[in-house]
């Protein structure tokens, strides 16, 4: 009963005959328990009777002999028939179960009539109590939370990196594209109405493989352009609008709130790697790529842009200087913070929700035990925040 069913299944698939027999026995635990308990009780009763007869013949039929026989048989049964075998079985189940199956399978066949007779009364008693034994096939099926706990407690069995990847896979259903997307305010995009030289400069200075292209207003995205392909058709440090339009591909839109796991399947089916996130009104919210989803599973692997500033600057007093637009999930994951992330996605949103007003520079507050100071406010948003160690 202590054997790991999944390890036993693995041994069975590899051709281990004892493991196959053990699997067959565990498929009907009612019959297995009946056979084991019948044999166990017969052996114990026979041992008690035998020791009593021996004691009476050696010491006569008296209370002394009966007491000695009782103590002796109790000791022998506990040590040799109960405690030691059960400790061995619980300590080495993968070794004991397949070996014991060679003996238990023929015993189960021999005891079939007795097992049927006993189970007839057992099942009748259970029905009287309105109980029904669970099916052993479904009783050992693991749910998501059980698998998560099993992985978290796997210890040295799985390398830490592998365990982290598997645990991250379970979180994909809970994480939304809104949590990992690059917000609209941080997007790099090309305005088709700009002059040709400005578009050319935008292309050669970009550190991205693809860029959204809009016309006049960022909500009016007309497509996606591959930077290298567009530059290949440029001449004299300028672009031709007609040729540039031919390089623009139709945009791929993603509804806001889509779970990452769902979007991963959508990317696979549509053979896309780049999508624009829009809300229910069709307004652009940001962009998400296949790389963003993969980083949620395996961690960051891309080389940071030379123009990209670090997420936080650590001061001598241990405080962190952080941009207000930083994702709370990223702050918690990379910096080991414990900020609430149930409703707001950015540090700016969290501070505005807490204060319920637009703060000024120098305002101090405390969120989730972290003392914070608003350093800079710009364009109706908190630009820079200093976060002190948690109290």
Q: Average of pLDDT values for 354-383? A: 90
The mean pLDDT value of the chain amounts to 85
Residues 261 and 318 in one domain: no
Among 141, 158, 191, where does a domain finish? Answer: 141
The answer to whether residue 171 is domain-embedded is: no
φ, ψ for residue 318 (rounded to 5)?
Answer: 90, -5
Is there a contact between 227 and 206 (Cβ–Cβ < 8 Å)?
Answer: yes
DSSP state of 271: T
- Above 90 in pLDDT, residue 146? no
The answer to whether residue 146 is domain-embedded is: no
Q: Same domain for 137 and 19? A: yes
Give the chain's domain count: 3
Computed from CA positions of residues 262, 268, 271, 273, in that sequence, does the dihedral angle turn out positive or negative?
A: positive
Interaxial angle between packed helices 328-335 and 347-355, expressed in degrees from 0 to 180 and rounded to the nearest 10: 110
Q: Which helix (H) or strand (E) holds 298?
A: helix 290-298
Say what the pLDDT of residue 365 is. 92
Q: What pTM does this model have?
A: 0.62
For residue 134, pLDDT beyond 90: no
Q: Specify whether 285 is located in the same domain as 323.
A: no
pLDDT of residue 197: 86
| Residue 172 counted as domain residue | no
Q: Are 29 and 136 in contact (CB under 8 A)?
A: yes
Q: Per the domain annotation, does 163 fall within a domain?
A: no
Are residues 318 and 382 part of one domain?
yes
Cβ pair 263, 178 in contact under 8 A: no
Do 18 and 134 lie in one domain? The reply is yes
User: Residue 160 falls within a domain, yes or no?
Assistant: no
Between CA 214 and CA 150 the distance in angstroms is: 48
Structure tokens of 264? 């991963």
CATH of the domain at 183: 3.10.580.10
Q: Which residue, among 374, 369, 373, 375, has the nearest Cα to 389 in the 3D structure?
A: 369
39 and 106 inside one domain: yes
Domain that holds residue 364: 312-387
- Run of H or E including 163: helix 160-171
pLDDT in tens, 73-132: 899 889 988 899 889 988 898 889 999 999 999 988 898 888 888 888 888 888 888 887
Whether 304 is covered by a domain: the verdict is: no
Euclidean distance between CA atoms 231 and 218, whole angstroms = 22
Mean pLDDT for 213-220 is 91
On whether residue 360 sits in a domain, the answer given is yes
15 and 75 fall within a common domain:
yes
């Amino acid at each position: 009963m202590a054997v790991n069913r999944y390890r036993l299944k693995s041994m069975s698939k590899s051709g281990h005959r004892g493991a196959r027999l053990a699997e067959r026995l565990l498929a009907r635990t009612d019959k297995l328990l009946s056979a084991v308990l019948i044999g166990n009780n017969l052996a114990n009763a026979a041992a008690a009777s035998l020791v009593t007869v021996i004691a009476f013949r050696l010491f006569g039929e008296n209370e002394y002999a009966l007491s000695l026989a009782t103590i002796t048989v109790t000791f022998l049964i506990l040590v040799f028939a109960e405690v030691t075998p059960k400790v061995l079985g619980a300590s080495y189940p993968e070794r004991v179960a397949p070996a014991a199956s060679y003996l238990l399978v023929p015993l189960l066949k021999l005891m079939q009539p007795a097992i049927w007779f006993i189970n007839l009364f057992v099942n009748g008693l259970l029905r009287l109590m309105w109980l029904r034994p669970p099916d052993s096939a479904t009783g050992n099926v693991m749910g998501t939370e059980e698998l998560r706990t099993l992985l978290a407690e796997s210890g040295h069995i799985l390398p830490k990196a592998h365990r982290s990847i598997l645990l991250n896979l379970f979180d994909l259903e809970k994480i939304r594209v809104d949590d990992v997307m690059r917000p609209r305010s941080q997007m790099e995009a090309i305005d088709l109405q700009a002059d040709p030289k400005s578009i050319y400069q935008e292309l050669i200075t970009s550190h991205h493989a693809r860029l959204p292209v809009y016309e006049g207003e960022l909500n009016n995205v007309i497509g996606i352009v591959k930077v290298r392909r567009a530059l290949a058709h440029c001449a004299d440090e300028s672009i031709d609008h007609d040729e540039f339009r031919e390089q623009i591909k139709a945009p791929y839109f993603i509804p806001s709130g889509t779970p990452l796991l769902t979007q991963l399947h959508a990317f696979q089916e549509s053979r896309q790697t780049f999508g624009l996130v829009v809300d229910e009104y069709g307004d652009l919210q940001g962009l998400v790529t296949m790389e963003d989803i993969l980083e949620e599973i395996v961690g960051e692997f891309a080389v940071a842009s030379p123009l990209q500033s670090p997420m936080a600057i650590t001061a001598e007093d241990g405080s962190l200087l952080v941009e207000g637009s930083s994702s709370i999930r990223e702050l918690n994951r990379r910096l080991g913070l414990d900020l609430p992330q149930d409703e707001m996605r950015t540090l700016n949103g969290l501070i505005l929700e807490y204060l319920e007003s637009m703060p000024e520079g120098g305002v101090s507050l405390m969120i989730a035990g972290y003392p914070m100071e608003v350093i800079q406010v710009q364009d109706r948003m908190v630009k820079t925040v200093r976060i002190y160690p948690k109290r």
